[in-house]
């Protein structure tokens, strides 16, 4: 908790007070720094403390500055004009700072450093005892304090592990990752790391092919530390931030230096994990997209096949060419029943499946935040529904027509049979009648014979008159068969005409006799 005022600025490097505090979005960091006050005060005069921080912070800064094509050699000298300090903040934050002043005068340098300090403050860090003048003057302790503030804010504050954050989150991450290693017990960021096994365990946990962990010995810390630092630099792109000897030869390594180094491991591995997670997410997205594309293709094919079947079937249902015989009509009816029983049900199933696929696809696309699927022109669900409606209308009309046709053919069959029966009876009755009427037996007959012939002829005339109705019935049936489009109307008409002609002839012969 800072208690510096404008009138009497407190130098935290001489009192142990933290050179900053967090307000708003930096929970926890100011609190744990307060617990370090006594330790910092004891170590202020130890040159090992400053040497470790200087080396670590320089390497950390350069690991970011190299992305902008530059680096620093001397941490308290190279930030004095504020230019590389502003550049460092731009690289690590990914944001643009105000344009720096390029002048060489002290005022220009102070203005540039102030722009950097204002940017740090804008990220929720309240800088209490760090002033631009001390940085411009090359105050080593102030510069190291400022860099530590930047490291805390940009490399440690946002670490979050199982609902713990910042330093506690980083410590918990180390504990979780090294838990399977019996000879590693991470309880802090100083002596827990002296033997080098914790560094090696972190690497081995994530990249086991890089470390032969079983060959490491707890009583050989220098070898262990060098092994971890060299592997990290060569394969993990983590620059060497400390010398093994500096750690081993110090009663208690500098916590800030160790935290900075370990945070680089966290970001290297969590970054790889995030990349892997992102890759997996991309693969999943690709798989989902591929599945969606298959569903689209399936829909298009199913829709195309179904519409083609509908368009092929409707003309068949609309074909209302009358059949000549009842047998032919019965076959047509049987074909229709096959259509209803065999051919149509699978198409009903296809139509249902098509609608299910379409709705499933649209739901998947919506859940994936993808645009809705738009089928090809003419293959919309509405097009299929319209086609299906036309099919069912044609089907209904076809069924009604078939029933009417069957009734018509049944009527025709009945009439044709009646015509044949009546015509046969009539033709049998008329047989020999013309020959009888043409006889001239009256020429040689006696009077009594003539009277008998007259009585016989009068009886025939009565019989002939009685047959008039039968001839008219035959003609009426033939007329009805014509009107109902009987297929054999020509032969019916010919027979009827012959009967009528013969009837006229019989009438004429009767009259003459």
In a domain, 7, yes or no: no
CB-based contact 159:165 (threshold 8 Å): yes
Q: At which of 156, 184, 205 does a domain end? A: 156
Same domain, 134 and 180: no
Q: Which domain holds residue 337?
A: 287-406
Q: What is the CATH number of the domain that holds 229?
A: 1.10.418.10
Same domain, 467 and 448: yes
Residues 6+ apart with CB under 8 A from 123: 93, 153, 154
CB-based contact 302:353 (threshold 8 Å): yes
Same domain, 376 and 437: no
pLDDT at 24: 35
In a domain, 392, yes or no: yes
Structure tokens at 320: 């209302």
Same domain, 134 and 176: no
Determine the distance from the C-alpha atom of residue 452 to the mean position of all C-alpha atoms in its chain, rounded to a whole number. 110
CB-based contact 28:168 (threshold 8 Å): yes
Closest CA to 58 of 257, 234, 252: 257
In a domain, 467, yes or no: yes
pLDDT at 68: 92
CB burial of 85-103 (b: ≥16 within 10 Å; e: otherwise) equals bbbbbbbbbeeebeebbee
Same domain, 231 and 303: no
- Sign of CA pseudo-dihedral 154, 157, 162, 163: negative
Q: What is the CATH number of the domain that holds 475?
A: 1.20.58.60
pLDDT at 164: 83
Number of domains, the chain: 4
Same domain, 216 and 324: no
Same domain, 452 and 383: no
In a domain, 209, yes or no: yes
β-strands 125-127, 160-161 pairing = unpaired
Residue the block writes with tokens 């800064």? 61
pLDDT at 350: 92
Same domain, 177 and 148: no
pLDDT at 3: 34
Q: At which of 156, 177, 193 does a domain end? A: 156
pLDDT at 281: 73
CB-based contact 44:23 (threshold 8 Å): no
Same domain, 141 and 217: no
Terminal-residue alpha carbon distance, the chain: 153
Same domain, 380 and 292: yes
Same domain, 293 and 398: yes
From residue 366, give the alpha-carbon distance in Å to each of 106, 298, 469, 486: 59, 19, 83, 63
Residue the block writes with tokens 């037996």? 441
DSSP assignment of 460-511 equals HHHHHHHHHHHHHHHHHHHHHHHHTT-TTHHHHHHHHHHHHHHHHHHHHHHH
| Per-residue pLDDT tens listing for the chain (513 residues) | 333 333 323 233 332 333 333 333 333 334 434 333 333 434 444 678 889 999 999 999 999 999 999 999 999 899 999 999 999 999 999 999 999 998 889 999 999 999 999 999 999 887 777 889 999 999 998 999 999 999 999 988 888 888 788 899 999 999 999 999 989 999 999 999 999 999 999 999 999 999 999 999 999 999 999 999 999 999 999 999 999 999 999 999 999 999 999 999 999 988 666 666 667 777 777 778 888 888 899 999 999 999 999 999 999 988 888 777 778 888 888 888 899 999 999 999 999 999 998 998 899 888 888 888 899 888 998 999 999 999 999 888 888 888 888 888 888 889 889 999 999 999 999 888 888 888 888 888 889 988 998 998 988 888 888 888 899 999 999 998 888 888 888 999 999 999 998 898 898 988 988
In a domain, 439, yes or no: yes
Same domain, 369 and 301: yes
In a domain, 425, yes or no: no
β-strands 20-22, 125-127 pairing = antiparallel
Q: H or E stretch including 127?
A: strand 125-127
In a domain, 151, yes or no: yes
In a domain, 61, yes or no: yes
Determine the distance from the C-alpha atom of residue 32 to the mean position of all C-alpha atoms in its chain, rounded to a whole number. 47
Closest CA to 476 of 501, 496, 495: 496
Q: At which of 127, 156, 185 does a domain end? A: 156
């Amino acid at each position: 908790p800072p208690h510096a005022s404008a009138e009497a600025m407190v130098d935290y490097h001489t009192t142990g007070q933290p050179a900053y505090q967090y307000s708003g979005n930096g929970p926890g960091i100011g609190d744990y720094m307060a617990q370090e006050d006594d330790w910092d005060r004891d170590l202020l005069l130890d040159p090992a403390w400053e040497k470790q921080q200087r080396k670590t912070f320089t390497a950390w800064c350069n690991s970011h500055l190299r992305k902008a094509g530059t680096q620093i050699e001397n941490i308290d000298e190279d930030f004095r004009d504020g230019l590389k300090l502003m550049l460092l903040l731009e690289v690590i934050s990914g944001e643009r700072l105000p344009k720096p002043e390029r002048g060489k005068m002290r005022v220009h340098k102070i203005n540039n450093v102030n722009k950097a300090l204002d940017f740090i403050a804008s990220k929720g860090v309240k800088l209490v005892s760090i002033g631009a003048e001390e940085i411009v003057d090359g105050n080593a302790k102030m510069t190291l304090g400022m860099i530590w503030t930047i490291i805390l804010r940009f490399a440690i504050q946002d670490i979050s592990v199982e609902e713990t954050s910042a330093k506690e989150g980083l410590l918990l991450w180390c504990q979780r990752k090294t838990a399977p290693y019996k000879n590693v017990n991470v309880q802090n960021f100083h002596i827990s790391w002296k033997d080098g096994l914790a560094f090696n365990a972190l690497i081995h946990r994530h990249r086991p092919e890089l470390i032969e962990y079983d060959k490491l010995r707890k009583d050989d810390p220098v070898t262990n530390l060098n092994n971890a630092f060299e592997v990290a630099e060569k394969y993990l792109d983590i620059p060497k931030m400390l010398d093994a000897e500096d750690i081993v030869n110090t009663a208690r390594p500098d916590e800030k230096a160790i935290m900075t180094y370990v945070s680089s491991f966290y970001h290297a591995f969590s970054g790889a994990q995030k990349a892997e997670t992102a890759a997996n997410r991309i693969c999943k997205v690709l798989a989902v997209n591929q599945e969606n594309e298959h569903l689209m293709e399936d829909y298009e094919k199913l829709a195309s096949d179904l519409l083609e079947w509908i368009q092929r079937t409707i003309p068949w249902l609309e074909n209302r060419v009358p059949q000549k015989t009842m047998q032919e009509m019965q076959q047509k009816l049987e074909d229709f029943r096959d259509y209803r029983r065999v051919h149509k049900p699978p198409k009903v199933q296809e139509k249902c499946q098509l609608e299910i696929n379409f709705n499933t696809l649209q739901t998947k696309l919506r859940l994936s935040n993808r645009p809705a699927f738009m089928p090809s022109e003419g293959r919309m669900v509405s097009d299929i529904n319209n086609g299906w409606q036309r099919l069912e209308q044609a089907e209904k009309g076809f069924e009604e027509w078939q029933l009417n046709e069957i009734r018509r053919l049944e009527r025709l069959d009945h009439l044709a049979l009646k015509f044949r029966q009546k015509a046969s009876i009539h033709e049998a009755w008329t047989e020999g009648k013309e020959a009888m009427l043409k006889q001239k037996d009256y020429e040689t007959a006696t009077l009594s014979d003539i009277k008998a012939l007259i009585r016989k002829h009068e009886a025939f005339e009565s019989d002939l008159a009685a047959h008039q109705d039968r001839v008219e019935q035959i003609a009426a049936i033939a007329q009805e068969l014509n009107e109902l489009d009987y297929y054999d109307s020509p032969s019916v008409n010919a027979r009827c005409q012959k009967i009528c002609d013969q009837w006229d002839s019989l009438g004429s012969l009767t009259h003459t006799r």
